[in-house]
Amino acid sequence: MPIKSIKHKHEKRMHIPSKEEAGYEKANAKVREKKTAAFPLNPVTHRGQDPELFWLNKYANDDRETLLKVDIRSLYRHEHISPEILIENLYKLREEENQEQLSLFELFGNGIQMDELDKVAEYYRHQDDWTNRMILGDSLLVMTSLLEREGMAGKVQMIYIDPPYGIRYGSNWQMKLDNRNVADGKDDHLSGEPEQIKAYRDTWELGIHSYLSYLRDRLLVAKDLLTESGSCFVQISDENVHLVRCLMDEVFGSENFVRQIIFFKTTSKGGKYLDENADYIIWYGKNSEFLKYRQLYLPKKIGGPGAKEYKYLMLKNGEWKALRQYDLFNPKITSQDKLFSHDNFTSQSGGSTTQYSFEFDDKKINPPSRGGWKTNLRGLENLIKKDRIILVGNTPRFVRYFNDFPIYPISTHWDDTRISGFSNEKHYVVQTYTKVIQRCLLMTTDPGDLVLDPTCGSGTTAYMAEQWGRRWITIDTSRIALNIAKTRVMTATFPFYKLHDEKTHDICQGFIYKKVPHITLKSLANDESPAEETLYDQPYEDKKRLRVAGPFTVETLQSLDIASPESLEQTHDPQDKFEARIFEHLMSAGVKNGIKNEHAVFTRVDALNSPYLHAEGFYQGADGEKKAYLHIGPKFGTVNKLMVNEAVKECRTRGDADWLIILGFSFDSDISNRNETTSLGSFEVTKVRMHDDLMQEGLLKKDKKAASFVTIGEPDVRLNRNGKTVQVELLGLDIYDPIRDQIKARNIHDIAYWMTDDDYDGSNFIVRQVFFCGGNKKEMDNWKKGLDKTASARARKTAEKIFKIEIDQHAFDRLYGHLSHPIEIKKNRQKIAVRVISQFGEESMKVLEIEN
């Protein structure tokens, strides 16, 4: 097939439940047996060996044996994404004899049929084939889950951490997927994502002291994930680089410090002293004695780094001369003649065979008073024959030509990053420089190795890992960040690098790299073939093939607030200040219906001692006073379908209310409004968005007197049937705008993208079609240009002949609208799931059924 992705066929990952199956894994004894993990705050192996850094609340008390205790949560599969499936809807592959079609399970790496699983028994017991992972959740909890639930200790080859440089709440938030304009410190531009606010409250409360605890905790868990040959990189600015270096000494041990790298960026102004133009990368190994390292090189440039000493010219008649500075940049001189430097020919450790006199240019040259020459007499004769010896005064010098080794090893100063860092359009406010991560990755990993980034951002680490054939896991607390990263990886194209194992396409055998001969004095003197250096950043490329990202899953972390009824009973406090504030605002601002402009203001709200129904409220309806039950979602987290179902059950049992209100700051995409009927009557279930002010108390400059509550609708979707196919049409969607605190009817620019699964099984959302209707019509440019780039001829027919594919231009046009590609109707009952993502990162889903 002309369009391919890299599969990691020999690697496995744990089989975990889907988001739709959340909660059932609790029945698995293996999952129940351990609830928390513990990590020593100051590892014993390093105590007393290195100086210790102190900060407020470093230890919970004066006992230095205090452990970091972390809850062990589950991870849930939210989406399965394979660009190969998506691209099939745009490129119509010509049928050929014996052409094998990849099965769905082969694409997603599932070793067994999911519908045949005894699900409860198989969670965290069964191994699936590997697929890469993008995870929404707190990085400390996610990494602990990987360690404890999935046994991934010692499995990660490289970890790259790019934590926030500063500790101000309003400094780095991005409110919308399509808008990177951030007004620093303004209320309207402060994040309303529950996970982000909780991260801030947990980590920045004590300023730099909280910041150090935040980073220390994550480094402790990250260390356990690393292989013995693994590396951990932390990117940081000069504001805290000294503190982070001391902190990493405590976690990894000073003996495992590798290097501190400085990389240059666009100059940052704003201070009254010198401008800042560089950031730092602190590099530690898990065990420096076993560190995996691949030397990288840069091309030499005349007069530039690694080549400043090449300032002499060997003329055609055998004479040589020194060049003036401006001559070095004259291409007529440097391209036609031999540029060289001369090097020392003596050795301090010479033996008897290197202590001899010889004649050169009618002069007798005696051996040095100490040591000897760098080669024996026969080697010297070879060097003279090859015009590699000159006299500088009366001292013999070895001639080293510029082209003997046209590259030089990179050092700890990367001064070429400022140019390429912003050469491509930025995807995120605080996007990491691509070249920086690429170098760290290539220096310390091989194809097939696993890379982890607990600070996903725009997904640069995942993007680079995908390009270079590494497996990857990336984590972020922000839905905005994760959706940007998902789109970036999903629509990317990459060079098709040639593999050592072309038959089985085993990535573990690596790429075929370009190599450069390294001509040395020794190889010339001994008539040996020169050694070769591998250019790990220059694999050979097959320009007649197009590569897209491999299959990956989008996953979410289990929320503690909704982990189980037992945890709710233990932690739920009816007198909690948060709940009291909600009750107050329900009686002052009420609940607004975003569609009909209806407004219900409560006259009384009373707390209930129940894990599922937290309060009952009374409001005035058309027929007099009415009663509603309220389920209050977590203050920092997402409302889960399992708890909603439990609230609905209890509301049915009580049977004395006509309204169940599900309050939350964010909701699982599969939670929908609906009507419920019981023997005692009927009631309406409505999901209601609480205003961000309720969880931003104390963070805003202007606190609103009465935060509103607004009902959230679901996508208005229609199926248009045409013979044996149907098309999904997105008619409307009520989108909540947290900046303006209002519900807006569908606007093409308010929808970031929407996806369909045309054969939804109820527990695994597989993205089969995607549409960027609210974008700038550039999202799929990589796929469009990929064909032109890989085809050598301009003519369309030649391209089709090379790739054996045809472009469906109408399909590309549909990518930016509200009408799906045609979907074939199957013989049995079929479910079509539609998931819509707003520019604010919020999701909603609707499932439709077709009967043939």
The domain ranges of the chain are 3-43+56-88+95-297+411-493+548-555, 312-409, 564-711, 716-780+815-850
pLDDT mean over 447-453:
97
Q: What is the pLDDT, as a whole number, of residue 231?
A: 98
Least confident of 37-41, 129-133, 835-839: 835-839
Q: What is the pLDDT, as a whole number, of residue 794?
A: 39
Q: What is the pLDDT, as a whole number, of residue 568?
A: 36
What class is the 3-43+56-88+95-297+411-493+548-555 domain? alpha beta
Q: Is the pLDDT of residue 576 over 70?
A: no
Percentage, residues of the chain above pLDDT 90: 34
pLDDT mean over 724-741:
73
pLDDT mean over 285-305:
93
Contacting residues for 391 by C-beta, under 8 A, at least 6 apart: 360, 361, 363, 397
pLDDT interval class at 142 (50, 70, 90):
very high
Q: Is the pLDDT of residue 458 over 80?
A: yes
Q: What is the pLDDT, as a whole number, of residue 424?
A: 46
| Dist. CA 267–CA 283, nearest whole Å | 24
Q: Is the pLDDT of residue 392 over 60?
A: yes
pLDDT mean over 184-200:
51
Q: What is the pLDDT, as a whole number, of residue 189?
A: 45
pLDDT mean over 762-782:
76
Q: Is the pLDDT of residue 496 over 70?
A: yes
| Dist. CA 416–CA 301, nearest whole Å | 13
- With beta carbons less than 8 A apart as the criterion, state whether 288 and 258 touch: yes
**Which residue did the predictor score with more confidence, 785 or 610?**
610
Q: What is the largest CA-CA distance in the chain?
A: 120
Q: Is the pLDDT of residue 364 over 80?
A: yes
**Which residue did the predictor score with more confidence, 670 or 73?**
73
Q: What is the pLDDT, as a whole number, of residue 616?
A: 94
DSSP-based three-state secondary structure for 649: helix
Q: Which of 379-383, 547-551, 744-748 has the highest mean pLDDT?
A: 379-383
Ramachandran class of 402: left when φ > 0, alpha when ψ lies in -120 to 50, beta otherwise? alpha
pLDDT interval class at 90 (50, 70, 90):
low
Residue 730: which of 718, 743, 748 has the closest Cα? 718
Q: Is the pLDDT of residue 499 over 70?
A: yes
Beta strands in 526-641 (DSSP E): 531-539, 546-548, 552-557, 591-592, 599-600, 602-607, 615-621, 624-632
Per DSSP, what are the bridge partners of residue 639?
Answer: 667
**Mean per-residue pLDDT of the chain:** 79
H or E segment at 31?
A: helix 29-32
pLDDT mean over 591-619:
83
Q: Is the pLDDT of residue 572 over 80?
A: no
Q: Which fold has domain 716-780+815-850?
A: Immunoglobulin-like (2.60.40)
| Dist. CA 539–CA 276, nearest whole Å | 35
Percentage, residues of the chain above pLDDT 70: 73
Least confident of 223-227, 273-277, 294-298, 809-813: 809-813
Q: What is the pLDDT, as a whole number, of residue 201?
A: 57
Q: What is the pLDDT, as a whole number, of residue 178?
A: 55
Helices 479-490 and 460-467 sit at what angle, rounded to 10 degrees?
A: 20
Nearest-Å Rg of the Cα atoms of the chain is 32
